[in-house]
Amino acid sequence: MVLNSQKLKKNKYMNSINSTDKILKPKPLFWALNTSGWFFMTLVNITFQTKYFTQNFEAIYYSFFVTGIGFLVSLLARFLILKWHIIHKKIIVMIVSLFVLSFVLSIISGSTISFFIVTFISSIDFEFSTLISAIFNFNLVFFIWILLYSTSLFVSNQQHLSEQKLKLSLQLKEAELNNLRKQLSPHFLFNAINNIRTLILINPESARDALLNVSDLLRYALSYQKKNTVTVIEEMEIVEGYINLNKIHLGDTVNFSINLETALEGLKIPPMTIQLLIENAIKHGKIMNGRITLNIKTEQSKKIIEVINPGSLKSSKEMGIGLANLKQRLQSMYGEKASFNITELNGLITAKIEIV
């Protein structure tokens, strides 16, 4: 189980690296939105400069330059956000980092644009207020751009982490179930072989019948080894075979009673669940001249699977590996909606599974 967990952690690390590599390569959607956004700003700037405000038709030329600088700086901003893993930092650190990045890039862009205007457009003299205005305008634009991009990146990253977490959770549950099967199958096989050995010495004819029952049980175990769940009616096939096997071994000293509600035949449970409860009752209960009762019923919207047998909790208070594994499997399958408890009342031991 430790090795499986280490492998899963390694896979998670590799998936994170691959995810980062994919993020560093701009997607077609990013190119389309970013290009169209800056082009739209170019059209807006040209329209308001030449038609409504300054009547400055030279704006047609340098508007493309201005938004071209903005486009290139936006690519730089994107690269730095990903390179420095800003969206993975704490929320306060992330906001401050994005604001500082926006301000620094605005200074670079504003200075570049001001230098271009003064150098190549002779009709405009350099004024410090022009530089401040350019920096302010670009800081506003870049802050909005960075805010929108970081938000989309953050949401995408959270979705990716949720998917990875879900995959890891399913892989861990599968590894856990595989580990539990390896523990349960030898335990069941050991008890079956012991029963056959005893029956061969006592009654060869009964041993033949027992062998047929064991064959059915092993066929069931092999058939459902790769399944995480079975229905109650499927499980009852192995339970009846197991009971018949023990009836041959124990004779008439133990009575078995089965009460199954038809509506619960399709209830999903982990494989070997009911069989394990019956096996535990036979192994640890004081069952000679007693009765083992299996009830599968509904009580107050709860689905109940219980096995009742004579005995003392003192002799079976230590939950064996099989029952401990059963509890883990139920929790893996149903979470908090399922519970498993063993109680004693008036000389009777009750092993009860409750599923909401």
Angle at which helix 204-223 crosses helix 232-250, to 10 degrees, equals 160
| Residue-level pLDDT at 305 | 93
Tokens standing for residue 130:
């022009």
Task: Kindly state whether residues 37 and 142 are assigned to the same domain.
Answer: yes
Report the CATH number that the domain containing residue 312 is assigned in CATH: 3.30.565.10
Contact 40, 105 (CB under 8 A): no
Same domain, 22 and 76: yes
151 lies in some domain:
yes
> According to the model, what pLDDT value does residue 5 have?
42
Q: Are residues 217 and 347 in the same domain?
A: yes
How much is the pLDDT for 320? 65
Q: Do 261 and 209 belong together in one domain? A: yes
Q: What confidence score (pLDDT) does residue 165 get?
A: 77
Closest to 35 in 3D by CA, of 145, 139, 114: 145
Residue 183 lies in a domain: no
- Among 233, 288, 280, smallest CA distance to 261 is for 233
pLDDT for res 14: 44
- 334, two tokens: 């149903």
The answer as to whether 188 is a domain residue is no
Q: Tens of pLDDT along the chain (356 residues)? A: 334 444 444 454 444 444 444 445 677 888 888 888 888 877 887 777 665 455 666 667 777 877 888 888 888 888 888 888 888 788 888 888 888 888 888 888 877 777 776 676 555 555 666 567 667 777 788 788 888 888 888 888 778 777 777 777 666 666 655 655 554 456 556 766 777 777 787 777 777 777 777 777 777 766 666 677 889 998 898 888 888 877 766 777 888 889 999 999 999 988 888 988 988 888 888 888 888 999 999 988 889 999 999 988 765 444 666 677 778 778 878 888 888 988 888 888 999 999 88
Q: What is the pLDDT of residue 1?
A: 39
Same domain? For 132 and 252 the reply is no
Are residues 213 and 86 part of one domain? no
Number of domains comprising the chain: 2
Is residue 247 within 8 A of residue 213, CB to CB? The reply is no
Together in a domain, 21 and 139: yes
What's the confidence (pLDDT) of residue 124?
54
Residue 74 belongs to a domain: yes
What is the C-alpha to C-alpha distance for residues 215 and 235, in angstroms, rounded to an integer? 15
Of 149, 169, 189, which one is at a domain's C-terminal end? 169
Placement of tokens 């739209």 in the chain: 40
pLDDT at position 259, please? Answer: 92
Rounded to two decimals, the pTM is 0.49
- CA dist 354 and 338 (Å) reads 6
- Tell me whether residue 181 is in a domain: no
Give me the half-sphere count of Cα atoms (radius 13 Å) on the Cβ side of residue 72: 9
Residue 249: domain span: 203-355
The C-alpha atoms of residue 127 and residue 130 are separated, in whole angstroms, by 5
Residue position matching structure tokens 């523990």: 183
